[in-house]
Each structure stands twice: as C-alpha cells, then as structure tokens.
Amino acid sequence: MEQGDNSLRKGPWLEEEDEQLARLVNVFGERKWDSIARISGLRRSGKSCRMRWLNYLRPNLKRGCISPEEEQIIIQLHDRWGNKWSRIARSLPGRTDNEIKNYWRTHLSKKNTQLQEEGNFQCNSNASHNPEQDFPYQTGNPSSSCNLAYCDIVQNGSAMTGADQYDLWSLVESPYETRLYDHWMSEISCGEQEEAKFGGGCNYGWNYSEVGESCMMDSLWDMS
C-alpha cells in the first residue's frame, strides 16, 4: 500500500485520515476535492477523498440493511432508469450510489434474472407504476414504520390521481432533483430526535405528506 514518498496512498482509510478529511470538509464544504486533498496532507487523490466522504463519512448516511421498501424502490427505479445508480440513490436519502450498485449486483440482479428465466417477472419500463404488477415477489407493508417519502409515493400510488403521479415522477427527474435531495437530507438531519430515528435502522421521521410539496418546492427555489 505504501509506495514512494510522492505517490498517492491507496487502499483502506485509517481513522486519522477520516478525521482529518471530515475536519477539512466541514471547513471547505463538499467541493474542491483536489484542494482538500492537497491541504490535508493525506496523500490521497481528490477523487479518493470525495469517494470516502460521500460513501462513508457524510452525515446522515443510513447504514445497515436495505429494507424491503427500499428494495422495491431500487427495483422500480432500475427498471425505469437502468444503471443510473447516482440517480437512484438520490431517491433513497441516506443511501449511496455505491451501496445501491453493490446491493443490486449481489442481491437483485440475480433475483431479477432468476425470475425472468422463470417467466413470472415482467420488466415494464413504460407501464404504470403499480407495485403489485412491478414487484410480484415483494409485498411491502404500506403501514410499515420504514416508509420513506418515495416509498409512500410508490406504495400508495394507487390512491393518487394520474396527474399527481406524473408530477411526482417529473419532480424526481427535474433539474432540481439534486436540490430536492439536499433538502430532504436537511429535513432528516435537523434535530437529535430525527437522528435517533435515522440511526435506529430504517425509520425516517417524516413522509411525503408531512413534508408538503408546495412549501418544500418554495424553499427549494430559495436555495441558490
């Protein structure tokens, strides 16, 4: 792992490196990764720093098992968007693209292939988003405490009008999806109570109806 004096370090990160990186990101923000890498003296590339922060150190990361509800979302969004892991990750607050990508490869792609071979699974990218149709092998519980905003949208979609469903899909695909995601993250991260829920597994302290689309979008427009 250790190479020449001028070479960049590779391999697993040490605790001291994590602490140093976190300090610098808190000062400079999540940008200028090359500068952060240089200033830190970590002998890591900017890319490596960015990767470490986004996939491991970032606050509000939701570690632990992917819940059945999250799995449904991943399957549905993968069906819709393909291997657009970062895009899918934005719809799952607290999950990273790397995590979702790994989960897909190790769990879902196999399952998907198997079911397709058995002929009882239909990939239906343009169809209506009926969970029972799209996920014949998954029966998530809509009343589960693991509901996320998106989960509500997917699972309770039948209770919404077609127009409402269209608006929500447009929302996620809009140019402002990143800000939307950031906003969701800040919603989640405010307050220790939410953090406690967050750290406890898969229990977010809010859902779509609690956030409220109009006020959420208003504040999004204010972010610049």
Partner DNA sequence: AAACAGGTCAACCGCCAGGAG
Partner DNA sequence: TCTCCTGGCGGTTGACCTGTT
Nearest approach, Cβ of 192 to DNA (angstroms)?
Answer: 25
- Helix residue ranges, H only, 30-96: 33-40, 46-52, 68-81, 85-90
Q: Exposure string (b/e) for 172-199, b if CB count within 10 Å is 16 or more? A: beeebbebbbebbbebbeeeeebeebbe
> Scanning residues 116 to 175, which ones bind DNA (CB under 7 A)?
none
The whole-angstrom separation of Cα 28 and Cα 6 is 24
Neighbours of 38 (CB within 10 A): 14
Look at residue 162 and give its three-state secondary structure: helix
User: With CB under 7 A as the contact rule, which of the stretches 104-112, 147-155, 163-171, 216-224 interacts with DNA?
Assistant: 104-112
Out of 105, 136, 158, 210, name the contact with DNA by CB under 7 A: 105
DSSP 14: P
Out of 22, 40, 43, 56, name the contact with DNA by CB under 7 A: 56
Out of 24, 25, 62, 85, name the contact with DNA by CB under 7 A: 85
Nearer to DNA, 31 or 132 (CB): 31
User: With CB under 7 A as the contact rule, which of the stretches 39-47, 68-76, 122-130, 184-192 interacts with DNA?
Assistant: 39-47
Q: Interface residues with DNA (CB under 7 A)? A: 9-13, 30-35, 44, 46-48, 50-52, 55-56, 83-87, 97-99, 101-103, 105-107
